[in-house]
Amino acid sequence: MNRPLVLLTVALACASCSRQTAEPSSPADLALTAPPGMKHKAYADDEVVAAPAADAAAAPAREPPQSGVQVPAGAPMLAYSYEYSVSLPGRQVDALRRRHERACADAGPTVCQVVSTSIADRGDGAVRGVLSMRAAPSWLKRFRDGLESDAKDAGGRIETSDVTSEDLSREIVDTEAQLRAKTTLRDRLQGLLAGRPGRLADLLEVERELARVQGEIDSTQSQLAVMRGRVAMSEINLAYQARDMVGSPVRSPLSRSLGGFFGAMAASLAAIIDIVALTAPWAVLVAGVLWLLRRRLPKLGRRAAAPSPPPAG
């Protein structure tokens, strides 16, 4: 077997290794995915840390988030989500929503981004507004601290608040390890194409494998960017609601009963109008027929009662 074919076999074997999980279970497995000049150390908690060799340029193991928020090494990478419900007078719902939306826009897209916003006004005082944003933790903290005062200035208050978090540390670490392994395999395949010419069939096979690996690298980088973005910028959802829509426990049943009473009356009146509209043409037709019959029946009766003339004698 010639040397190019042997190198091709090794490259394909590395490709099958890259499809496996990115957490090697032994130092031997670590050596398969380590790029030249990199040394690996395995710790007791199964976390694998890549340390550069003395003669290699050190590259950061974890890139900073795109928004500029630095995540301390070893700190849990949490994606936070905040939920708030604000009740206030109906005329202030849209004004407060616009105020918060403008504050996010003024901060700039690298600090705050408006995901979605909407307002619904049915004209009877039932006004609802929704605003969803993604923002850097530092700006979002200042915004949340001033949210209660904003509601009070508009004559309202915060009804409910909730916060949830999702730990993405393990997913990010695993994805980074997969990305390093696939990048190493891509570099080896590129070196094989550049410095080891061989048969055309072998070169085409290597090129196809290289294209597949590059596609996986692009997909992994996209997934990693999404997860880092969730850590770097938290999500907040605001629901604005007219105070009359909230109602007290005593007033709400009474309001619903009165609304049902008038609604039932309106529905009954509408049904009567529909019945009249459907029966009126037929009533006119029947009345006309009866009138004609009444005019004709007396004449027929008189003809029947008249004596017949005597026979001519």
Cα 285 to the center of its chain, rounded Å: 61
Q: Are residues 109 and 198 in the same domain?
A: no
Q: Are residues 203 and 108 in the same domain?
A: no
Q: Are residues 138 and 240 in the same domain?
A: yes
Range from 112-126, 158-172, 236-250 carrying the lowest mean pLDDT: 236-250
- The answer to whether 134 and 155 are in contact (CB under 8 A) is no
Residue 270 falls within a domain, yes or no?
yes
**pLDDT given for residue 62 in this prediction:** 38
| E strand or H helix that includes residue 46 | none
Task: Give the percent of the chain with pLDDT over 90.
Answer: 35
What are φ and ψ of residue 7, in 5° steps? -65, -35
**pLDDT given for residue 249 in this prediction:** 44
Residue 228 falls within a domain, yes or no?
no
Of the candidates 201, 209, 196, 174, the one whose C-alpha atom is nearest the C-alpha of residue 77 is 174
d(CA 247, CA 67): 42
Residue 126 falls within a domain, yes or no?
yes
Cα 189 to the center of its chain, rounded Å: 39
**pLDDT given for residue 77 in this prediction:** 85
Domain extent for 272: 250-286
**pLDDT given for residue 10 in this prediction:** 46
Q: Are residues 198 and 101 in the same domain?
A: no
**pLDDT given for residue 306 in this prediction:** 57
With H, G, I as helix, E, B as strand and everything else as coil, classify residue 309. Answer: coil
The enclosing domain of 84 has a CATH number of: 3.30.70
Of the candidates 237, 236, 228, 235, the one whose C-alpha atom is nearest the C-alpha of residue 68 is 228
Residue 305 falls within a domain, yes or no?
no
pLDDT at 84 over 90: yes
Residue 296 falls within a domain, yes or no?
no
Q: Hunting for tokens 């009070």 — which residue is that?
A: 152
- Quick one: average pLDDT of 1-10? 47
CB neighbourhood size of 94 (10 A): 15
- Dihedral (C-alpha) 45, 46, 49, 50: value to the nearest 10 degrees? 160
What are the pLDDT digits (tens) for 179-219? 999 999 999 888 888 876 677 887 888 889 999 999 999 99
Number of domains the chain is built from: 3
**pLDDT given for residue 251 in this prediction:** 47
Q: Are residues 98 and 135 in the same domain?
A: yes
